[in-house]
Amino acid sequence: MQNNFVRYAATLAIICLAASGLLSVVYNVTQPKIAAQAKMEEESALQDVYPGAARFEPVEDKGSVFYYKALNTSGDLLGYAFKAEKKGYSSTIVTMVGMDTKGIIQRIKILSQNETPGLGSRIEEVRQKETFWDVVLRKANISQKPRPWFQTQFESKSYKGLERNVETITGATISSLAVIVSVEEKAGKIMESVQDGR
């Protein structure tokens, strides 16, 4: 009986070692590809929130990117792009934001969220105005992808007072407030940092 127990324990230990070794190999092989994909997605999001910028220069704080300077082809400063994040109802919501030098929001884009489908996930909802017949009869411009209505509310608004000027989503107040507050807070920190010459 004791011999069986030892044999089972040894077999289980070998299986665990083999599985962990295999996981380690898979992680090491896929990690560079995952990092490269994440970098491409971030670069695409930067262009989405500040389409007029030719390049983005990272500004670091404590070893990580605090924000990006959005520069034109001549190297002149157009504004800033940054990530804002805050806990929503069921996940951390990460948003990319473009803001000019006066603190006016250009665009925002939700990068990641895992909110409740049909409720909190509505922060990425697109209102489709065109009907099927508009598309068939070519009355609709389907080459232009519509943007989420909640996110378009931020455009051309000062980061100060976003809570007053951006309408929260009925049934998804926590999720929409998480986006609003995170953008407001991070934008405030960046503007404060820029004014202090940091």
Domain range annotation of the chain: 1-45, 78-195
CA distances from 80 to 35, 59, 62, 85, 91 (A): 23, 10, 18, 16, 26
pLDDT at residue number 185: 96
Which of the pair, 13 or 192, is modelled with greater confidence? 192
Chain-wide mean pLDDT for the chain?
86
pLDDT at residue number 174: 94
Rounded mean pLDDT, 143-147: 70
Bridging pattern class, strands 64-71 and 105-112: unpaired
CA dist., res. 60 & res. 66, Å (int): 5
pLDDT at residue number 71: 96
134 φ, ψ (degrees, to nearest 5)? -60, -40
pLDDT at residue number 133: 58
Predicted TM-score (pTM) of this structure: 0.76
**Tens digit of pLDDT for each residue in 36-84?**
777 788 888 999 999 989 999 999 998 899 999 999 999 999 999 999 9
141 within 8 A of 92, measured Cβ to Cβ: no
